[in-house]
Amino acid sequence: MSATLKSLETLKSKMNNQQQEFQEIIKEFELQKQKFEEEKQQVDQYLAQNDILYLNVGGIHFCTLRSTLTFIKNTIFDNLFDTDKKLLVDRDNRIFLDYDPELFKLMLNQLRQWIEVNDSDQLFELPKTSFNDRQRFRNFLRHLKFDEKHFDLQFYDSSNELVGRIVQASSRSDDNQNNSYTSFYGSQMYSTGCHRVQIKFLNSCYYNVSRASYFQVGIANFEKNKKNPQSSVITWPCHTVLPSPQGVCNEIEDGDIFEIEIDCNDKLVTVTNQRTMKGRHQIVHDSVPLPWRLYVQLPNDQSTPIRII
């Protein structure tokens, strides 16, 4: 009987040892599995970031890395190339994007430069050719959902020297004051190149329907000592009267910033409301000779409801 118990104890001990060895094997397997999953995740992440993309953008072929297009986060490119999405491809199996290839190239090359210096806080440089080209590139970047903090708000003159944001004082002209409007002149002189000024409306609620319903902005001949100098202005409504029962739509709201681009070379003045992106432009007649200065005419009031920024 004792021999049988001894055999059972021996068998039990062997089983315990085997169970312990088996648990060690399972533990090692789990560790190896976890390590494999971590390495696989790293590889998948690397491949996802560095997949080579062959693109057909508006008929022009591009080759770039996924990580280049997704260098700036929260844009349309973040999810555009997901594998679970059905992408439109051309006959050469290139991903087709219906964008302007010149605008895409301008955007892509700048992203490549940012990656070289590993700086995601850079600004997109806008084209120096014309206002329309700059506006098209801005709109393209907005369509791609780039944050406007990446937009270059500087402008360049014809010699490619940086002009920068113009900060200037404005003067009120009592000579041009009447019962309805008051004229304001900027102190900065413009004679060559392309310049940009921004004016901010501090108190747009002043413009009510019962009073004057528009303001004028543009340029005037730079003759400080001359009363009523020749000017070229764009008339901007303060309100749009809509069919009943919609009533009145405010074209200007508190804090609205209007961008005035003064192009001395092409003799063109362009005004854009940065909130609504509505814009108007006007060719300056030869009767308004250079040099110019900013000219704004506002409904009469004791205080100035705008500020040049």
What confidence score (pLDDT) does residue 141 get? 93
Q: Could you read off the pLDDT of 89-122 as tens digits, one per residue?
A: 899 989 999 999 999 999 999 999 999 999 888 8
Q: Tell me: pLDDT of 214 over 90.
A: no
Q: Tell me: pLDDT of 207 over 60.
A: no
What confidence score (pLDDT) does residue 249 get? 56
Q: Could you read off the pLDDT of 61-75 as tens digits, one per residue?
A: 999 999 999 999 999
What confidence score (pLDDT) does residue 69 get? 94
Q: What pTM value is reported for the model?
A: 0.44
Nearest CA to 110 among 133, 127, 131?
127
Q: Tell me: pLDDT of 86 over 50.
A: yes
Q: Tell me: pLDDT of 128 over 60.
A: yes
What confidence score (pLDDT) does residue 308 get? 66
Q: Could you read off the pLDDT of 240-258 as tens digits, one per residue?
A: 544 444 444 567 777 788 8
Cross-strand partners of 95:
55, 89
SS3 content of the chain, % helix, strand, coil (to 5): 30, 30, 40
Q: Could you read off the pLDDT of 19-50 as tens digits, one per residue?
A: 888 888 888 888 888 888 887 676 566 555 55
DSSP state of 308: E
Q: pLDDT confidence of 11, banded at 50, 70, 90?
A: confident
Helix (H), strand (E), coil (C) string for 133-159: HHHHHHHHHHHCCCCHHHECCCCECCC
Structural domains for the chain: 52-150 (3.30.710.10), 170-308 (2.60.120)
What confidence score (pLDDT) does residue 210 get? 42
Q: Tell me: pLDDT of 302 over 80.
A: no
Question: Which SS3 state, helix, strand or coil, does residue 242 take?
Answer: coil
Q: How is residue 13 written in tokens? A: 């001990």
Q: Tell me: pLDDT of 59 over 90.
A: yes
What confidence score (pLDDT) does residue 156 get? 38
What confidence score (pLDDT) does residue 163 get? 30
